[in-house]
Amino acid sequence: MSRHLHRGTSGGRFSGNSQGFWDDSQMKERTENEDLDIIRKDVIWVANVKITAQEVLTSGSLTKRMMMLEEEQISFRSASLMFDGVEDYSHQIAEMIGLRNESNFIHVGVRTILDIGCGYGSFGAHLFSKQLLTMCIANYEASGSQVQLTLERGLPAMISSFTSKQLPYPSLSFDMVHCARCGIDWDQKEGIYLIEANRVLRPGGYFVWTSPLTNSQASLRNKENQKRWNFVRSFAESLCWDMLSQQDETVVWKKTSKKSCYGSRKSGSSPSICSKAHDVESPYYRPLESCIGGTQSRRWIPIEGRPTWPSRANPSSNELAIYGVSPEDFAWDNLNWNSAVRNYWSLLSPLIFSDHPKRPGDEDPSPPYNMLRNVLDMNARFGGFNSALLEGGKSVWVMNVVPTSGPNTLPLILDRGFVGVLHDWCEAFPTYPRTYDMVHAEGLLSLETDQQRRCTMLDLFSEIDRLLRPEGWVILRDTASLIEIARALATRLKWDARVVEIESNSNERLLICQKPFFKKQTN
């Protein structure tokens, strides 16, 4: 029996609860098995991505070659240790740092990793099981996209060019930066790409580079390669990176934890330290800087000095003061979102846990089971929605977006151990179509309409429709008047839509939508 919403209805409640949607006392607790979310990272449909069979068979980089073509599906071999070298590679990196294995990354302060040119996400897929969150970035590709296949596997990724502008992350955002044959010429443009990697790397963080260029034996036979390798090694030292180890084609550096290192360099050493005017927390469409950033930030805290995951998701009052956030506001935000997530799932459970096609490679599961793997939070604020999903046992990852039209809370989100990005919602989000299983936004419509914007609400909804997978969900919370406008737009897009009243605030409403799945008509 199909259980879709009735398109265009308004003013009703989803449940039969006469006390209203937000009454926790009437809500039944779900069992642990019902709350368990299933993530499949090893098999995807060929039809969902722009890659040909020939491209699958000929992909040859370190992380791309772990694919098998099986009729209409692509199988990633990360589930088979006999064929997959990613576990061995991750283990090697851990040993080079001085750890027993990659499971210990988290104990030395590593939680978030920026993977540049990530192949098809095998490195991040393996580390996901170790509670590590890996953000893949790569250029747009017309076919065989690294970003598209990584997202299709249910892993964090976004289109981003490392070589044109500063990345849309504040300074000191990641615990590790990883590049395995990622196509970046680190020795070019007087080391400016290394400076950008240093900017987004936290104090005490690790830079991991795997490249034939680092193979000292091979470099000795090629003077040009030796010259390039010597430049990178020397420049890394000028950035106050300490080379921990070099094995085969992999080198691991550790960024200094002490600001005093920069002052102890020789007088006139290059690169210089950025002035305050050039060292900003909102690097949106800013050119690459040739100076060392992040040294003046109050967030300069070595990764080994931060609480380990998951404790870092709940910063102390002293830590919150760094971001200008009061403990009371933060506590209220957490409480509000924990309640909201429970109610969202209570609201959606009869619909979201049934009548969905099984994922490729899965046996037919017994409902209820959760088909959500990722969520786009369009106005993330403190990252409270992300935190509440994790506390509620939902095995999803969240792309926390901080709109450029509002306060920049992205540093707090990233320091909590989540992933996120700055973005102007009058522009296309840097990803492929049909990327997210759920799109969520609280207060975004109010935020955008309060600004003198160059785009309309229809533009915004068209972009949401582009990002959302068929049968994906949209949850919007805003003022009653804006939600009514949004409902009309959702109907125009042929989404199933319904407005839900919120008893605790008569001026706010929820808009719950589901994007239908239209099958191509055959003649």
Domain boundaries, the chain: 39-258+270-305, 316-352+370-515
What is the Cα–Cα distance from 253 to 186, expressed in whole angstroms?
Answer: 14
- What are the residues facing 272 on neighbouring strands? none
Strands 397-403 and 419-423: parallel
Q: Angle at the Cα of 392 (from 388 to 396), degrees rounded to 5?
A: 80
Smallest CA-to-CA distance from 104 within 256, 304, 242 is with 304
What is the Cα–Cα distance from 112 to 106, expressed in whole angstroms?
Answer: 9
Predicted pLDDT at 523: 58
For residue 489, the one-letter residue type is L
Smallest CA-to-CA distance from 391 within 319, 346, 341 is with 341
For residue 421, the one-letter residue type is V
Predicted pLDDT at 449: 86
What is the Cα–Cα distance from 396 to 372, expressed in whole angstroms?
Answer: 7
DSSP state of 307: P
pLDDT tens track, the chain, 523 positions: 233 333 333 333 333 232 233 333 332 333 233 333 333 466 666 667 766 656 655 544 444 445 556 667 676 654 433 335 888 999 999 999 999 999 999 999 999 999 999 888 889 989 998 999 999 999 887 665 788 888 988 899 999 988 889 999 999 999 999 999 888 999 999 999 999 999 999 999 999 999 999 876 666 678 888 999 999 999 999 999 999 999 989 999 999 999 999 989 888 888 999 998 888 888 888 999 999 999 999 999 999 999 999 999 999 999 999 999 999 999 999 999 999 998 888 777 655 544 444 444 455 444 334 467 899 999 999 999 999 999 988 878 999 999 999 999 999 999 999 999 999 999 999 999 999 999 999 999 999 987 767 899 999 999 999 999 998 999 999 999 999 999 999 999 999 999 988 876 679 999 999 998 876 666 5
Strands 397-403 and 374-377: parallel
Contact (Cβ atoms closer than 8 angstroms) between residue 375 and residue 361: no
Contact (Cβ atoms closer than 8 angstroms) between residue 280 and residue 290: no
Predicted pLDDT at 351: 56
DSSP state of 45: E
Contact (Cβ atoms closer than 8 angstroms) between residue 316 and residue 219: no
* SS3 state of residue 40: coil
Predicted pLDDT at 357: 44
* Segment holding 304, helix H or strand E: none
Sign of the dihedral defined by the CA atoms of residues 181, 182, 186, 189, in that order:
positive
> What's phi and psi for 67, nearest 5 deg?
-130, 150
Helical segments of 181-312, H only:
192-200, 216-220, 223-238, 260-263
DSSP state of 518: P
Predicted pLDDT at 90: 94
Contact (Cβ atoms closer than 8 angstroms) between residue 255 and residue 241: yes
CATH class entry, domain 39-258+270-305: alpha beta
CA 523 to chain centroid, in Å, comes to 41
Predicted pLDDT at 395: 79
List the structure tokens of 13: 């409640």
* SS3 state of residue 512: strand
Contact (Cβ atoms closer than 8 angstroms) between residue 255 and residue 203: yes
Q: Which CATH number fits domain 316-352+370-515: 3.90.1150.10, 3.40.50.150, 3.40.50.620, 3.40.50.720?
A: 3.40.50.150
Predicted pLDDT at 78: 43
What is the Cα–Cα distance from 493 to 405, expressed in whole angstroms?
Answer: 25
Q: At what angle do helices 384-391 and 327-352 cross, to 10 degrees?
A: 60
